[in-house]
Structure 1
Amino acid sequence: MDEPEYTLHFGVYGVVIEQGHILCIHKNSGPYKNRYDLPGGSQEPGEGLTETLVREVYEETGQKVKKYSHPRIYDTFIKPHTKSVTTHHVFALYTVSLHEEVSDLPLYVADGLNDSDGVTWVKISELNELNASPLILKVLDEQSNKETTIDKSRYEHWTVIYKKLNNNQNQRR
């Protein structure tokens, strides 16, 4: 029997929660395309975790990180139903606060085209497996104080969404 094929992806992400809403990016590529996701991404050579956090949050939100705290690490296994490869996504999360001033998002970033089409505040109660990335689902587990939050999550038949999400939540709370 053939062994399943795996790839490994590591990223660093910021979590901003205010008044029952979470700051999300509109993902425009990859397995989380057209889902709400957290701002963040992959490290560049020589970058530390917090350097990656600050750079990626700025690239994807246009806002500078004012403060970061509460580091934690989780992992999930994602297998799109149309692919034979499972991605093991390991991610470090930091709780962040942002400066109010907003810059335009760059089209190109350190690792190519920007995979963020901008940000939106979404009510935590409106996020679910049909519209959010596994990173946000893990934050929802944290918010619910689930005992299994620290355990891996697994999505065996992940669906990539090719139609854009409804962007009614674009305004800040």
Structure 2
Amino acid sequence: MMTLENYHRAFGVYGICPQNGKLLVIKKNVGPYINRYDLPGGKLEDGESLLKGIRREFFEETGFYIEVRKNIGVVDFLLPWKWQRITHLHHIAVFYLVKLVRGGFNDPEQFDGQDSNGALWVPIDELTLDNASPLVLKAVDWLKTRKMGMDVVHFEQWEVKK
């Protein structure tokens, strides 16, 4: 029996914030990256610019105000995800290198659409396929190589951690 693929497309802006061999990440509480580390960021609100969106999302999820230092690139990810009538996720991510300018860790306000259970610093060498989202893995790769690439990144054996 042939199964028809039904993709959910997600588009978002994400901040890469390295410091002292660590990466600032959030603890994801919903979606295909649940129970993994993810980058601070997310989808834009209606009429919101990319830069305004990354600043808002970063603050909402971490408690830090940021300076956007550089647009690193755009990558799309494809992975299986069984959710409602969805079979796959096509995640398009715009990556920015960011620097903290003020603020401090907060417990994110839990509102409809909030997908973070807080932020923390994790040593870059401890971020793996078992504990991190594809976005975090791409950020780690970029931090090591300074190359983003243009090819779609496939995660054909992706496991959603319940």
TM-score, scaled to structure 1: 0.83
1:37 matches 2:38: yes
Residue 155 of structure 1 deviates from its aligned partner by 1.1
Q: How does 1:8-157 map to 2 (within 5 A)?
A: 8-80=9-81, 85-102=87-104, 104=106, 105-108=108-111, 112-145=112-145, 149-157=149-157
* Number of residue pairs matched by the alignment: 159
Say whether the 8 Å CA contact 2:75–2:152 is kept in structure 1. Answer: yes
Residue 146 of structure 1 deviates from its aligned partner by 8.2
Say whether the 8 Å CA contact 1:12–1:53 is kept in structure 2. Answer: yes
Quote the Cα distance in structure 1 between the aligned partners of 2:158 and 2:145: 24
TM-score, scaled to structure 2: 0.88
Gaps of 5+ in 2: none
**Richer in helix (by share):** 2
Residue 139 of structure 1 deviates from its aligned partner by 1.2
Quote the Cα distance in structure 2 between the aligned partners of 1:66 and 1:127: 24
Q: Which amino acid aligns with 1:31?
A: P
Structure 1 pair 103/140, CA: closer, same or farther in 2 (3 Å)? closer
Structure 1 pair 142/67, CA: closer, same or farther in 2 (3 Å)? closer
Say whether the 8 Å CA contact 2:66–2:102 is kept in structure 1. Answer: no
Residue 140 of structure 1 deviates from its aligned partner by 2.0
Quote the Cα distance in structure 1 between the aligned partners of 2:71 and 2:88: 29
Query: Helix, strand or coil: the match of 1:158?
Result: coil
